[in-house]
């Protein structure tokens, strides 16, 4: 795959040439593009070859060169659980969902139960806006087939891959559970919690976090059979409780994460592979807390997002997708 920051005019040329594309950019930039085989999502934060930056003019373009066909579909409301329908026999699906939408909540809480979810790679992100424009502008997704922007629903690009091509979906999560720290669990799924079980005792969760001085720039981490899954803190309020950027799952065992140290340096040390030819997205919280403006994340470039998707919703994680020939996969 090719990843390039380019002008609207250059992206338009690619679209008109029939390329299968995943796009990220400001609403104004994406709104200028012609119809074609693409979906797009709003973001103005990017990690590029020259480092992290805000860019409202250009669009980040990922071209899936091994694609033989693609179809864009917007799924919303009762149709959302059907998002794996209309797939090609050999392929993958890209998904973009606007932050703060009903589709965002529903996918986060119910997505792991959607039929066929695991049958092909599903990779994508939650679209956003400039942090200073939250409440002023709404995150959006664009259906390239119609050119329409949507504040609701999931824009999915089902992609057919040529014979022998395989898609490899993985994550890089720098956060590990601090298993020496308190064991935390919740009685209900949700994006918020007023109480939690801490080492078996029910506590007022906001009060617990404040009294113990937990660094809420670090996420809660659950262990999914060896995959570390983060839930990031959005806010801690004595009256309203604690809000998260992804739902906590009832019955899952969480620990607060260990600090990563210098995020960019730790990332560069742990990131392996040919990042330049992979599609990746990284979390806005990593961009902010890791001070990624002006800094690179190895060879990995891509949009900075309000949530990441590798089958399910993730937080403070980099998701990476590589489409390669089957013989390359076998050798690896």
Give all strands (DSSP E) within 176-306, no chain letters. Answer: 184-185, 190-193, 195-198, 201-204, 220-224, 227-231, 233-237, 241-248, 254-256, 279-283, 302-305
Letters for 251-290 (x = contact with another protein by CB under 8 A, - = none) are xx--------------------------------------
Task: Give me the least distance between CB of 211 and another protein, in Å please.
Answer: 30
Letters for 180-209 (x = contact with another protein by CB under 8 A, - = none) are ------------------------------
Query: Closest Cα to residue 130, out of 55, 217, 58?
Result: 55
227 binds another protein (CB under 8 A): yes
**What tokens were used for 300?**
């990995």
CA–CA dist 285, 292 (Å, integer)? 10
Pairing mode, strands 38-42 and 21-25: parallel
**What tokens were used for 216?**
């809420």
166 binds another protein (CB under 8 A): yes
Question: Using alpha carbons only, what angle is made at residue 77 by residues 19 and 92, rounded to the nearest 5 degrees?
Answer: 30
Q: Judged by CB, which is closer to another protein: 19, or 310?
A: 310
**What tokens were used for 44?**
């103005």
**Residues binding another protein: number (CB under 8 A):** 19
User: Among 79, 170, 204, 293, which residue sits at the site for another protein (rule: CB under 8 A)?
Assistant: 170
Q: Judged by CB, which is closer to another protein: 213, or 226?
A: 226
Q: How many CA atoms lie less than 13 Å away from 105 in the CB half-sphere? A: 10
Q: Sheet containing 2-6: give its strands across.
A: 2-6, 59-63, 21-25, 38-42, 141-143, 148-150
Q: Judged by CB, which is closer to another protein: 97, or 319?
A: 319
Select from 44-52, 144-152, 246-254, 293-301 the region that touches another protein (CB under 8 A). Answer: 246-254
169 binds another protein (CB under 8 A): yes
Task: Give me the least distance between CB of 116 and another protein, in Å please.
Answer: 8
224 binds another protein (CB under 8 A): yes
Q: Judged by CB, which is closer to another protein: 269, or 326?
A: 326
User: Among 18, 85, 118, 294, which residue sits at the site for another protein (rule: CB under 8 A)?
Assistant: 118
Q: Judged by CB, which is closer to another protein: 38, or 125?
A: 125
Question: Using alpha carbons only, what angle is made at residue 89 by residues 88 and 93, rounded to the nearest 5 degrees?
Answer: 45
Q: If residue 133 lies in a helix (H) or strand (E), which one and from where to where? A: none
Query: Closest Cα to residue 41, out of 196, 198, 154, 158?
Result: 154
Interface residues with another protein (CB under 8 A) are 112-113, 118-119, 166, 169-171, 223-227, 249, 251-252, 310-312
């Amino acid at each position: 795959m090719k990843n390039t920051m380019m002008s609207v005019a250059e992206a338009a040329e690619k679209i008109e040439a029939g390329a299968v594309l995943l796009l990220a950019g400001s609403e104004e930039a994406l709104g200028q593009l012609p119809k074609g085989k693409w979906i797009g999502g709003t973001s103005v934060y990017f990690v590029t070859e020259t480092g992290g930056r805000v860019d409202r003019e250009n669009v980040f373009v990922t071209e899936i060169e091994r694609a033989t066909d693609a179809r864009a579909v917007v799924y919303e409301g009762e149709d959302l659980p059907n998002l794996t329908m209309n797939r090609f026999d050999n392929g993958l699906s890209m998904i973009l969902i606007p932050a703060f939408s009903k589709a965002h909540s529903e996918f986060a809480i119910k997505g792991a139960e959607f039929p066929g979810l695991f049958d092909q790679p599903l990779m994508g992100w939650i679209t956003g806006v400039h942090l200073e424009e939250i409440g002023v502008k709404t995150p959006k997704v664009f259906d390239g087939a119609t050119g329409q922007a949507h504040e609701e629903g999931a824009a999915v690009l089902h992609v057919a891959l040529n014979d022998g091509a395989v898609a490899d979906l993985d994550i890089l999560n720098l956060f590990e559970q601090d298993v020496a720290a308190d064991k935390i669990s919740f009685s209900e799924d949700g994006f918020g919690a007023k109480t939690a079980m801490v080492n078996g005792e029910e506590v007022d969760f906001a009060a617990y976090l404040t009294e113990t001085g937990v660094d809420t720039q670090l996420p809660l981490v659950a262990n999914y059979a060896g995959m570390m899954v983060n839930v990031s803190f959005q806010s801690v309020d004595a009256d309203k409780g604690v809000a998260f950027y992804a739902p906590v799952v009832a019955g899952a065992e969480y620990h607060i994460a260990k600090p990563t140290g210098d995020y960019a340096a730790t990332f560069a040390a742990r990131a392996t592979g040919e990042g330049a030819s992979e599609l990746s997205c990284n979390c806005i919280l990593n961009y902010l807390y890791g001070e990624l403006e002006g800094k690179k994340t190895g060879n990995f470039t891509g949009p900075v997002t309000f949530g990441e998707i590798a089958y399910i919703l993730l937080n403070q994680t980099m998701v990476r997708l590589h489409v390669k020939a089957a013989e390359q996969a076998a050798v690896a």
